[in-house]
Structure 1
């Protein structure tokens, strides 16, 4: 079993988010100078800006990248748990910036007092170029981000099992209220 698969299973991303772990790594480098590394802890201040995303890819294939927080909601209804932070589809090879942005990047914003959240990047190799019918969300919009399901999204578009992944953990810091203010959320 790969180190990525072991990390996804030991942190319970499998089965909380996806049924099968990816085996390859996604390299995530943030403008602040930090990198995600299979569960390391990073501060919201460090990951507020979109990272550079690198992975091994077939240059003739298309990929979908999902960035999600499965720990958004701690209540009894698990349907509300997952909140997606970034969705990019139809990525040609490993050229993420050339993909189709379905939901623009929003950094981590775990509410005060909710402890560590897992922030998970999952990459799928698409069967072909796809026509996505998801609403297009800006980085100022929270509409449609809650009650997300990576598993259902992957099933809807017949994405199969993920090919690569990475994640980090984060908890509340002084940047979070600024993020919420920018999103128009009162806390």
Structure 2
């Protein structure tokens, strides 16, 4: 795999809540491996997903160094999501889902819905400060121990004009085994205008 680069951090990371066991400090040089093959082909359209400190995580493996895997599971809230090519006259739907539950080899519970936002104005996507109408609150990545890498996939759809996007009662009370493709077909959203993903696994693995 190619190396995207090295990041040098000199600041001390934020302290964690006392009840959580934080992993040991990592070396100061941190390498970001870029996705390859089929995983890299999923990424298209220059969609940017930006978390604190680490920056844009589009199409990379989340590294273990600097406690990044721990922080994305335990610390960071929803990322900024930017799509510079967004049409300001249109609205969009953003989906974040994990297809690898409980694991990539045995994805019996796909998809696990981690975030769903509709009615996002194009201007918000250009700035990265999205609000829209939240149908499913952001849930941090939750790969279980010893389940390998999970793909966290962001799909951005153009919302059809006059469409009111909503979850059914059954969908609202359950996050796993969400029929994502059926949902997309129901509202005639077609293919994503942009998509990206990052891969991460449990911070102790």
Please, what TM-score do these two structures have when normalized by structure 2? 0.66
Change (3 A) 1:84 1:98: same
Greater share of helix: 1
Alpha-carbon displacement from aligned partner over 1:10-35 (angstroms, at most 9, x marks no partner) = 129x8xxxxxx674021111123332
The structure whose Rg is larger is 2
Change (3 A) 1:134 1:105: same
* 1:98 aligns with one of 104, 113, 131: 131
2:199 matches 1:169: yes
Residue correspondences, number: 156
- The runs of 4+ residues in structure 1 deviating greater than 6 Å are none
Determine if contact 1:25/1:164 at 8 Å carries over to the other structure.
Answer: yes
* 1:72 aligns with one of 78, 85, 101: 101
Change (3 A) 1:129 1:100: farther
Cα distance in 2, alignment partners of residues 22 and 94 from structure 1? 22
Cα distance in 2, alignment partners of residues 9 and 150 from structure 1? 23
* 1:58 aligns with one of 69, 87, 109: 87
Please, what TM-score do these two structures have when normalized by structure 1? 0.72
Q: How big is the alpha-carbon RMSD for the aligned residues of Structure 1 and Structure 2? A: 2.8
Cα distance in 1, alignment partners of residues 70 and 168 from structure 2? 28
Report deviation, 1:120. 0.5
Gaps of 5+ in 2: 1-34
Determine if contact 1:73/1:82 at 8 Å carries over to the other structure.
Answer: no
* 2:70 aligns with one of 28, 32, 45: 45
Determine if contact 2:101/2:107 at 8 Å carries over to the other structure.
Answer: no
Report deviation, 1:89. 0.6
Alpha-carbon displacement from aligned partner over 1:159-181 (angstroms, at most 9, x marks no partner) = 0111101110110126xxxxxxx
Say which SS state the counterpart of residue 132 (structure 1) adopts. coil
* 2:53 aligns with one of 14, 32, 35: 32
Pairing of 1:73-152 with structure 2 (within 5 A): 73-74=102-103, 80-95=109-124, 97-134=130-167, 143-152=173-182
Gaps of 5+ in 1: 1-6, 15-20, 137-141, 175-187
Determine if contact 1:67/1:86 at 8 Å carries over to the other structure.
Answer: yes
Between 1:29-38 and 1:70-79, the stretch displaced more is: 70-79
Cα distance in 1, alignment partners of residues 58 and 119 from structure 2? 25
